[in-house]
Amino acid sequence: MYRLTEELSFPNPSKADRRGCIAFGGDLSTERLLLAYRNGIFPWFNEGSPIAWYTPDPRMVLFPKDLNLSKTMKQVLDRGHFQITYNNNFESVIRNCSSIKRDGQYGTWITEDMVKSYVELHRLGFAHSVEAWQNGELVGGLYGISLGKCFFGESMFAKVSNASKAAFITFVMKLEALGFWLIDCQMYTEHLASLGADLIPRAVFLDYLKKNKKEEEKLML
């Protein structure tokens, strides 16, 4: 297993173990985080543990054209159950993602240092949030990193049923209209699969990222 130093570099993704873990250590500077995403790597670790970096194989992604809009969610969107906004309150979204209780999960990987780093990435125009509101209250949302024509999803939360789904579906439709190639969902979940995401080989995912480096003029979402 590779231990990172102060040098801004990562091992070749092919060196990852069977879980997808490729390195430990380093820091959460904006420069290192952006380098990680450009190379198909993301941080994922428990609070109080060393920073761990992952690049799983296969990779869960959603191609916007493959979005699965169920009849139920179409009705939710058509009836305007939620007001969807973009970059309206990034810090509240990431802090809600950090604090929301999830089945089978103890603690959070969204540490205070991580919150600070992603808030800074948001200030720099790389990190974006989607908010779902109901009666003036923030009830769901998601955040992630936008580079070129790829969006790297990080986390989502919901305080009421369908809130995060409404935010996600609306956002995917927006990304498709903007010509985005894919949304990185990192790892398989039934929830993401139900929305149209699927697994692809890491090598294929990395090929997209190589092409994407030419598309990295920042897009205002």
pLDDT tens string 157-184: 999 999 999 999 999 999 999 999 999 9
pLDDT for the residue numbered 48:
82
- pLDDT tens digits for range 82-113: 999 999 999 999 999 998 865 434 335 799 99
For 53, what's the count of Cα atoms within 13 Å in the CB-facing half-sphere?
A: 27
| Sequence-ordered strand ranges (E) for the chain | 2-4, 21-25, 42-43, 52-54, 59-62, 83-86, 127-134, 137-147, 150-158, 182-186, 198-200
pLDDT(71) > 60: yes
Burial 51-77 (b: 16+ CB within 10 A, else e): bbbbbbbbbbbbbbeebeeeeebeebb
Instruction: Identify the pLDDT of residue 112.
Output: 94
Mean pLDDT, the chain, whole residue set? 93
60-198 to CATH, choices 3.20.20.140, 3.40.190.80, 3.40.630.70, 2.30.29.30: 3.40.630.70
Q: How much is the pLDDT for 201?
A: 98
